[in-house]
Structure 1
Amino acid sequence: MSETQGNPSNIDLSIVKPYTPTEAQVKRYTSRKIASAWTLFGGSLAVLAIVIVCIILFVSIFHVIVYSAKIIFGLLIVLIFPIYAIYNLFATFSRVKKGQFSFYSSEIFAKNDKGYIVKGISTTGLSFIDKADAGAEKAPGAPVIVVNMKDEFDLLGWD
């Protein structure tokens, strides 16, 4: 089980209470977090492959080589993105293995176009990590489980 690893600065512990999750909740959270990291990695590789194919087509078929600073900057970002995705994958695996995440219970305060606002959490735009939880819109005052891993917050619904 994961216990509270300290108090991140954007959690007000007078409103948000530490929560002891069930094994099923921990498993659901960690599996969704790992799946999210794999999705980011796969997406970055797909974008990289598309860019490489486009470069090969432009050079071989159209004999076009562009030396624009904007294009070179864009290519650097596309090349750095998979490196970040690999870092994110290993960091997520490491945090899950070490149990470096905390569960809290709170209530929905409101919902805006960016996501949910939760009482006691200064971060706005929170969303549910599990699509099954996100199905029905939650009303203000609905209880939620807030999970904190590093500086990221995710919401879990009650089982």
Structure 2
Amino acid sequence: MFSIKNSFAVLVLLFSFSLANAQLKIGDQLPDLQLQNDKNSTVKLNSSTGKVVLVDFWASWCGPCRLANKNLVKIYDNYKSEKFEIVGISIDTDQAKWLKAIEKDKLKNTQLIDDNGFDSQSAVLFGVDALPAAYLFDASGTLIAVNPTEVEIIAQIKKNN
């Protein structure tokens, strides 16, 4: 007889397997994902092919994310003209707080929202389990680093130019 304990074990195993398959790995391509931006338009995540792309997961309530935003603004301002794009993906569940944080942090790069927290499609697809989380893609759209340093980001930008 198949017990509840065995059923639970099977479900946990299946859930773990699906999560493991959902996480992007080095060498994977930038996903074909569409999200709303801060101007209420739909944006395709993989529309920046030909540029080095840093996908940055954050939220308005995340203190370390808000501190990291200050540095990302500087990097973006210095390198946006060099085939480089930062795509912020917020997992905020409150769009008003997200929009206020964008304004307060003076974020000028592409900002998208997937408003279902850590259960959002993009967070699950990328394997985000803590914030901030960043993914660096080369100009061909291939994932080359997870949580890269500023030095790694700049080196990839220079390599592409």
* TM-score, normalised via structure 2 length: 0.26
